[in-house]
Amino acid sequence: MAESTRSAGTLRCVIVTPEATVLDTPARFVTLPLFDGQRGIGRGHAPFIGRLGAGEVRITAESGAGDGRSTFVEGGFVEVGHDAVTVITQRAVPAEKLDAVAARADLARLAAAKPTGDEAIAARLAAQEAARAVVRTAGRSR
């Protein structure tokens, strides 16, 4: 996106999966779910590459008037460059398309499972973390 076509004070936010570009929009501010906490990005932020956790990418719209978008992502990486945020993830779902009831049922099913072995336990913990993040994201979008 050329600088002349972007409003002053905004950055470009792109979310891609192996199948498609899920989102490509100008934003005033982006909040990311890194694996070790959340991080906010605004125009002029220092470049970095980070590992994502499961959670909600919140995008404050160009107008900054409270309107924006939320997308659930499950892991991946983020690259912050010159006024651009690029999220690369295996799974990205707009928050309004998440089913909170199904996510709660999935979380209950995972809690009832009895894994054996280190790999099975680690896989269950990761799945539970993702299911909790879906429940949180879906709850905020309603």
pLDDT band at 84 (very low <50, low <70, confident <90, very high): very high
From the number of C-beta atoms within 10 Å of its C-beta (0-12, 13-18, 19+), residue 23 rates as middle
Are 47 and 91 part of one and the same domain? yes
The position carrying tokens 């160009």 is: 62
Domain with residue 41: its CATH number is: 2.60.15.10
Are 87 and 40 part of one and the same domain? yes
Are 57 and 80 part of one and the same domain? yes
pLDDT tens-digit map of 18-74? 999 999 999 999 999 999 999 999 988 999 999 999 999 999 987 655 567 899 999
Are 78 and 12 part of one and the same domain? yes
Q: Residue 94: what residue type?
A: P
**Structural domain tally of the chain?**
2
CA atoms within 13 A on the CB side of 60: 15
Are 88 and 52 part of one and the same domain? yes
- Pairing mode, if any, of strands 84-88 and 11-16? parallel
Are 78 and 102 part of one and the same domain? no
Q: Which domain holds residue 19?
A: 3-95
CA 59 from chain centre, in angstroms, equals: 10
| pLDDT of residue 2 exceeding 80 | no
- Closest CA relative to residue 84, chosen from 55, 53, 47: 47
CA dihedral 135, 78, 37, 101 (to 10 degrees): 0
Are 90 and 104 part of one and the same domain? no
pLDDT tens-digit map of 89-141? 999 999 888 888 888 888 888 888 888 889 888 888 888 888 888 888 877 76
User: Higher-confidence residue: 14 or 6?
Assistant: 14
Are 58 and 103 part of one and the same domain? no
Number of helices followed by number of strands (H, E) in the chain: 2, 8
Are 48 and 110 part of one and the same domain? no
Of the three residues 80, 95, 110, the one that is the final residue of a domain is 95
Calpha distance 57→89 (Å, rounded): 11
pLDDT band at 10 (very low <50, low <70, confident <90, very high): confident
